[in-house]
Amino acid sequence: MSNQPIAVIAAMSREFSGLLAHATTVEAVRTRAAYACRVSIGGREWLLVADGPGPMRAAAAAKVALGLGKPGAMVSTGYCGALDPALNAGDIFQADTIIGEADERWSTCRAEADCATAESGALLSRDRVVVTAKEKQALHSSLGARAVEMEASAVAKSAGDAGIRFYCIRVVSDSAHDTLPIDFNLYRTPSGRFSQGRILGAALARPSSFRGLIKLNADSKRASRILGDYLVHCEF
């Protein structure tokens, strides 16, 4: 692999926590993105950028990464929801095809890792959170995608336009059988970001959602650790 950095794009900085646990140095980078840093892991330089969920924010994060110097590879990473009932929370998923909003499709490179196996298949990339188990089943049946998330299509396009190798490596945070405790789509700002204050208000208004939110948080923390342990063993 070249000495160029690996640019890793996520929606939220918490999705980097498992990767950051392996870093020997971490240097914050001042940019327009909500979060950006350079880290050294295993003698390689990584550029981590997160700027919120959805394609608009992912495109902005990719633009920030490209503005800091052309990377050797660009990776869309973070959580994904399972559409295929065979996938479980904590499974690593390497997409081989990204399906966008208007059925646009992007192919990906595959990273080799000797630490664990990864599931693979088509990944659906949409500008909304898929909330219910019923909707997950319908998407899996109609499109054949095995998992869903919100940023990969925009990162794939940015990488393709820049002539950079593109990878999509995700970790499953919720299974196809899980319905999320609240509809996070209701609490996005005009810029696409989630409003943490409005989400908290919604949870307080529905105490019955607490148990599901606590479980989702615990599953997400575990998923971040698994994702980081996998990414550091990848050859890009």
Extents of the domains making up the chain? 6-179+223-235
SS3 letters across 160-215: HHHCCEEEEEEEEEECCCCCCCCCHHHHECCCCCECHHHHHHHHHHCHHHHHHHHH
What's the average pLDDT block by block, 10 residues per block, for the chain (236 residues)?
86 97 96 96 94 97 96 97 96 97 94 88 97 97 96 98 97 96 94 92 90 92 96 93
pLDDT in tens, 84-104: 999 999 999 999 999 998 889
E strand segments, the chain: 6-10, 25-28, 35-41, 44-50, 73-82, 92-99, 105-107, 112-113, 119-125, 147-149, 165-174, 234-235
For CA atoms 164, 29, 231, 133, the dihedral sign is negative
pTM of the model as a whole: 0.94
pLDDT in tens, 14-27: 999 999 999 999 99
Helix, strand or coil, per DSSP, at residue 15: helix
**Which residue type sits at 33?**
A
Q: Quickly name the fold that domain 6-179+223-235 has.
A: Rossmann fold (3.40.50)
pLDDT of residue 2: 59
Length of the chain counted residue by residue: 236
pLDDT of residue 115: 75
